[in-house]
Structure 1
Amino acid sequence: MPRLLTYNVHRCVGVDRKLDVKRIADVIAEHEPDVVCLQELDVGRARTGHVDQASAIAQHLAMSVQFHPAMKVEAELYGDAILTHRPERLVRAAALPTLPG
């Protein structure tokens, strides 16, 4: 059975207020998941050094990644990602529906 891990990484800032993408990847690696669902990632944001956190974590774990921004401000993105070692393909990515107003 595949092992699934979900983790709200809070833009890779720990409770000690230190920004450390590798530390997040190390925590994930300890659990040896097949699929990882990450929330609150920064991609290209000034506040976290313009790093693509989704890709950086995936690279540390030797996993493929699909990132979906929940928010975009100019070139800065913030959102969620799915990482996996398993064969995958993106069928469709779309925003969730919202209420008018």
Structure 2
Amino acid sequence: MPRLLTYNVHRCVGTDKRLDVDRIVAVIGQHEPDVVCLQELDVGRLRTGKVDQAEAIAEGLAMTSRFHPAMRVEAELYGDAILT
């Protein structure tokens, strides 16, 4: 049976107010999931350095991502992703 993990990453900003995509990758990687459902990702948003967080996390885990924007502000996106 595939291992599923869901995670609200809060745009990769921790309770310590630090933006750290690599920390998210490390936490997910500890669980070795087959499928990951992520909520509250920024893609191309100025507030998080214009990083495609879905793709960065997927790359760090050697997975592929499917991003779905829930909100669009000009070229900036905010939403959810599934990684496999």
**TM-score using structure 2 length:** 0.99
CA distance in 2, matches of 1:67, 1:52: 10
Residue 61 of structure 1 is matched in structure 2 by 61
Q: Which runs of 5+ in 1 are unaligned?
A: 85-101
By percentage of residues, which structure has more strand? 2
Residue 48 of structure 2 is matched in structure 1 by 48
Mapping of 1:14-93 within 5 angstroms? 14-84=14-84
TM-superposition CA deviations, 1:34-56 (whole Å, max 9, x none): 00000000000000000000000
CA RMSD of aligned residues (A): 0.3
Per-residue deviation, 1:6: 0.1
Percent sequence identity is 80
**Aligned residue-pair number:** 84
Per-residue deviation, 1:33: 0.3
**Secondary structure, in 3 states, of the residue corresponding to 1:16?**
coil
The structure that has the greater radius of gyration is: 1
Q: Which runs of 5+ in 2 are unaligned?
A: none
Higher relative contact order (CA 8 A, sep 6+): 2
CA distance in 2, matches of 1:2, 1:56: 22
By percentage of residues, which structure has more helix? 2
TM-superposition CA deviations, 1:19-44 (whole Å, max 9, x none): 00010000000000000000000000
